[in-house]
Structure 1
């Protein structure tokens, strides 16, 4: 049993994470960041849940055109397998990422 107060979580570097659980090969990690990630494609699906802050999520659509969504606390972005994307926080953000364990 553990209680995690996401709004209090910080890390010593951008995208620093706290592992919360590994359930049948799926990891749940709490991230803190104030810097963009990098363009990437996960090796499976990903759920990206903004718990605190705001994030601009850039992704490539089926025609490989860049699209941008503005996410705020409570919003969930689902990246299907093969979806190329990058997150740009607007200031500090705390994000719950659920994905295949070991994925980028």
Structure 2
């Protein structure tokens, strides 16, 4: 058993992570960042939960590029093939659940 206080977590670099769990090839990781990630497409589904701060999630759909401001408690689900980039506003802590080894 382990308790992690997400608001106290920091990393040495943007998108540094603490592994929380790996359950049958699905990872749950706590990330700290103050910089955008990069445009990418995961090779599986991804659940992205904002635990602290705000994150502008930009994504591309058939209708074009879109943006949504995510706040504490908001959850973004990226289906397979969803191109997206997470852009924190200041510092943010996020919980990411995805296939092990996903980008």
TM-score class normalised by the smaller sequence = over 0.9
Please name the residue that 1:53 is paired with: 53
1:1-104 matches, cutoff 5 A: 1-63=1-63, 65-104=64-103
The separation in 2 between residues aligned to 1:70 and 1:61, in whole angstroms, is: 16
Q: Deviations for 1:33-88, whole angstroms, at most 9, x for unmatched residues?
A: 0000000000000000000000000000124x110000000000000000000000
Aligned residues between the structures: 103
**Where do 4+ consecutive residues of structure 1 move more than 6 Å?**
none
The separation in 2 between residues aligned to 1:16 and 1:62, in whole angstroms, is: 31
The separation in 1 between residues aligned to 2:65 and 2:58, in whole angstroms, is: 7
Query: SS at the partner of 2:90?
Result: coil
Unaligned stretches of 5+ residues in structure 2? none
Report which of the two has the higher share of strand: 2
RMSD between aligned alpha carbons? Answer: 0.5
How much does 1:98 deviate?
A: 0.2
